Amino acid sequence: MKKNLLLVLFFISTSILHAQDITGILGAFPPELVLLESKMEHKKDTLIGQMRFIKGILNGKSVVLAQTGIGKVNAAIATTLMLEHFRPREIVFSGIAGGIDPALFPGDIVIGTQVTYHDYGAIEDGGMQYTPTRNPFNMEANPVVFSCDSMLVQKAVAVSRNLVFTKIKRENGSFSPSVKKGVIVTGDVFVSSATATQRLRKDLNAAATEMEGAAIAQTCFQQHTPFLIIRSLSDNANDKARNDMQAFYKIAAENAATLVMAVVGNLK
């Protein structure tokens, strides 16, 4: 019996060649991008499949903007298309999140230093065991935790000191948002449980939780592209999260976008 061993290798380069002098900006749903798009000049739309990419000038710099849709798969698809077709020098995500750090409140901003999945691994008797994803091109293990570009993080921290953010009204008064560096965790779930937030804080030292960041981070890591995730809190990921999100998501999205615009304007 004749034996045929057929091996088909689809090799996709894990580096983006000839990165362009343009910054990619992503957000998951319209409120996260409305301020950014409104401030862009010389806008030009490009449709790739059914996804809209907007090239233009933001705060004096060339950018391409796109809405990923909610969730990890959507985020990875949008990031891949942006990297393939526009070859941005870096990618910055602007959006809202649920707060995990008990010192943070709606409106506050988290500049991601690290990003990781909170729903990837194995569920065992002892709880969730977090394991690395793998690069499908070489099957090597990725880091369990992806680090945001340190220079972009430093720039975000520096420019945030001179910004005026929209204040948040709470029962005991009106407060200016605080800005903090921290770990952002990602999963395909909306977290609205104090028990879950305590676990994420204990296990992963999470400051905030959302649904796209780690997928963007993994895609950028595998394609050797610097990235930064900026999130403003719409809620505290507890049993009041859904109501709080409806009350604060517009302000949170605006605060994140304000910081992203400042970061972009200070890029070389």
97 close to 108: Cβ distance less than 8 angstroms: no
The string of DSSP codes covering 27-89 is ESSHHHHHHHHHH-EEEEEEEETTEEEEEEEETTEEEEEEE--SSHHHHHHHHHHHHHHH--S
Active site residue 244: no
- Catalytic residue (one of 101, 235, 244, 254): 235
DSSP class of residue 190? -
95 contact partners, CB below 8 Å, separation of at least 6: 27, 28, 32, 210, 212, 230, 231, 232, 253, 256
CB distance 223 to 215 below 8 Å: no
Active-site annotation holder among 32, 108, 244, 254: 32
Residue 116 Ramachandran class (φ > 0 left, ψ -120 to 50 alpha, else beta): beta
Report which DSSP code applies to 189. Answer: S
- Which residues sit opposite 87 in a β-bridge? none
32 noted as active-site residue: yes
Q: Which residues are catalytic?
A: 32, 235
